[in-house]
Amino acid sequence: MHAQSTTPEDPAASVVPAPNPRMPWRVAEVQALEDYSLRVRFLDGLEGVVRMSALVHSPAAGVFSRLADPALFSQAAVVYGAVTWPGELDLAPDAMYKAIQESGEWVPR
C-alpha cells in the first residue's frame, strides 16, 4: 500500500487577499493602433481611445519616451486591469476611464 501524499497549504494564500478586478474602470482589453493610440474596453463595456503620440514624443515624456519605439508600443497588454508594457510601464486605468467616459478619448500629458 502506497502512502498518500498531500500538498501543504500555502499559509500566505489565506492572509493576502486576491486582487479584485471587478472595479468598472479596470481595463478588460487593449489594442495598439496606428499613431501611438490604443483602443481600450473596460469591464463595464465602456470603450474609447487613448491618444499617446503627444506624450511619447514630448521632451517631458520621461520613462514613456521608450514607447516611441513602435515595436515596444505594439506590445501593450492588460495586466491586473491596467494597460502595461514591458519594463514596468503602465497607465492609470481610473484616469483613463474618467476621461473616456466624459469625451470618448484620453490624451495623457
Per-residue pLDDT of the chain (109 residues; tens, 9 = 90+): 555 544 455 555 556 555 555 677 899 999 999 999 999 999 999 999 999 999 999 999 999 999 999 999 999 999 999 999 999 999 999 999 999 999 999 999 8
Query: Checking phi first, is residue 84 left (phi over 0); if not, alpha (psi -120 to 50) or beta?
Result: beta
C-alpha span between 94 and 96 (Å, rounded): 5
**Contact between residue 48 and residue 104 where contact means Cβ atoms under 8 Å apart:** yes
Q: What is the pTM of this model?
A: 0.78
CATH number 3.30.2020.10 given to 22-106: yes
- The x, y and z cell numbers of residue 63, run together, are 520613462
